[in-house]
Amino acid sequence: MTALTIVDDDASATPPSTGVEGARVGTDASKTHLFGMRGPDLVAHFGALGVECSEAEARRILGRLLSEGHESLEGMKRPVRKGVREALQQSTRHAPLTIAEVVRDDVDGFEKFLLRLDDGALVEAVKIPLEKPGHFTVCVSSQVGCAMGCVFCATGRLGLSRHLQRFEIVGQVFAVRSTLQPGERITGVVFMGQGEPLHNYDEVIGAAAVLSDPCGGRIDARNISISTVGLVPQMHRYAMEGHKYRLVVSLHSTVAERRKSLLPIARQWSLEDVAGAIRALHQHSGDRVTVAFCLMSGVNTGVDEVEALQRLLGDVPLRINLIDVNDSRSVDDGGFRPPSPDELRGLLDALQALKQPVVRRYSGGKNTEAACGMLASRRIAEEAAVAPDDVA
Ligand code: SF4
């Protein structure tokens, strides 16, 4: 593990200059952040201020500042009108999130970013190298902490502090993008970091819209995955709305009592409820529905899981993602271990009978604190350990 960068050790550090036409913007958190906007949003923003701006003009502004990542409008081939420029400068900001720390796993190339928000809160994003050289997916957080309390998850132990706004989600991708080398690209985003994305539904869907917008992140909507641990009403809403993003339903177990012991949310919505929402997703999209299992040795790797999955969803075309648990705690401390090779082989053999595609997902950054919440937990603990008397 290599700690690459400590950009700030101080929540009050001044963000870098990112001014419109050289002026400083971004230090005033009361201004509307452009990272959460698409063309019509910016037109409406100006309209509320009594400033006329066409959608084409708004899209040129966003294309320049979001898609291309320029710090200002200077040098545009078709300059934006003076009144719009002034209103932009006075009422909006597009400061990047502050990178507090970057930790790189030298074995697999995963890079974990710890990002500091305006209020000092810390969130994590992970830059994941893809097979194609120079291409990356970014795993983003949707909340500070998480309310779901899944027993194998470090973020679950933090509890929920607050939801992220859409600009703070988009800002994670742009922060990672700012570290790319020439020729490198971000081609995908997964909402699988800290937080339950569908618990923060509007901001997550809004962020995905900005990320997939030609004037925003320019990421193919089909390369954006949103995970959920099974929030049934939001899954039905998502199905009805017909989004192109991929919803990944984390089942983790299809044995009711076991699922309840792993996921407190399973006490609110039964497996049958979740299965009903999965059926709705399939009916609305016509596509396979991706379901995920975080594999834990001796817990959910038995044939009983496969039989229960067959009974529950045998009639629905699925894609089954398997990922190993990444738990830093020892078994004595209640930690979970990944399956042994024998356990895994037995599970894969049993799954073959379902005749559904099975994908082994790599749990990256095993040599760092790459599981969601680990780096933030460590940093929060470190900062809390600095007692007031210790500060010079
Ligand atoms: S696994 Fe996801 S939903 Fe569960 S506690 Fe962790 S962040 Fe929240």
- pLDDT tens-digit series, residues 96-114: 999 999 999 998 899 999 9
Taking residues 186-201, what's their average pLDDT?
97
Q: What is the pLDDT of residues 257-272, one digit of tens each?
A: 999 999 999 999 999 9
At 382 the pLDDT is 61
Residue 148 near ligand 1, beta carbon < 6 Å: yes
Backbone angle region of 298, left / alpha / beta, with phi > 0 → left and psi within -120 to 50 → alpha? left
Residue 154 near ligand 1, beta carbon < 6 Å: no
Active site residue: 71, 101, 111, 124, which one?
A: 124
Q: What is the pLDDT of residues 25-38, one digit of tens each?
A: 345 788 999 999 99
Nearest to 252 by CA among 195, 194, 306, 292: 292
86 is catalytic: no
Residue 281 near ligand 1, beta carbon < 6 Å: no
Using the predicted structure, report yes or no on whether residue 289 has a pLDDT greater than 90: yes
- For 229-325+327-362, CATH number? 3.20.20.70
Pocket probe for ligand 1: among 151, 161, 191, 229, the residue whose CB has the most ligand atoms within 8 Å is 229
Q: Where are the domains of the chain?
A: 229-325+327-362
Q: Band the pLDDT of 19: cuts 50, 70, 90.
A: very low
Nearest to 21 by CA among 67, 77, 88: 88
124 is catalytic: yes
Using the predicted structure, report yes or no on whether residue 273 has a pLDDT greater than 60: yes
Using the predicted structure, report yes or no on whether residue 11 has a pLDDT greater than 60: no
Using the predicted structure, report yes or no on whether residue 39 has a pLDDT greater than 80: yes
Distance 197 CA to ligand 1 centre (A): 9
Map residue 220 onto helix, strand or coil. Answer: coil
Minimum CA distance residue for ligand 1 atom 3: 196
Round to whole Å and give the CA distance between 310 and 13. 54
Using the predicted structure, report yes or no on whether residue 2 has a pLDDT greater than 80: no
Asked if 320 and 357 touch (Cβ cutoff 8 Å), the reply is: yes
pLDDT top residue among 79 and 278:
278
Letter string b/e over residues 311-342, b meaning 16 or more CB atoms within 10 A of that residue's CB: ebbeebebbbbbbbbbbeeeeeeeebebbeee
Q: In Å, how far from its chain's centre is CA 262? A: 22
Asked if 170 and 213 touch (Cβ cutoff 8 Å), the reply is: no
Which range, of 54-58, 192-196, 383-387, averages the lowest pLDDT? 383-387
Q: Give the nearest ligand 1 atom to 229 CA.
A: 3
Q: What is the pLDDT of residues 299-344, one digit of tens each?
A: 999 999 999 999 999 999 999 999 999 888 888 888 999 999 999 9
Residue 294 near ligand 1, beta carbon < 6 Å: no
**Chain mean pLDDT for the chain:** 89
Using the predicted structure, report yes or no on whether residue 6 has a pLDDT greater than 50: no
Which range, of 72-81, 114-123, 133-142, 164-173, averages the lowest pLDDT? 72-81
Tell me how many degrees the CA angle 353-357-362 measures, rounded to the nearest 5: 115
Q: What is the pLDDT of residues 354-372, one digit of tens each?
A: 999 999 987 666 555 555 5
Using the predicted structure, report yes or no on whether residue 228 has a pLDDT greater than 90: yes
Residue 155 near ligand 1, beta carbon < 6 Å: yes
User: What are the structure tokens assigned to 365, written together?
Assistant: 């950054």
Q: What's the alpha-carbon Rg for the chain, to the nearest Å? A: 22
Taking residues 134-162, what's their average pLDDT?
95
Q: Give the nearest ligand 1 atom to 194 CA.
A: 7
Residue 196 near ligand 1, beta carbon < 6 Å: yes
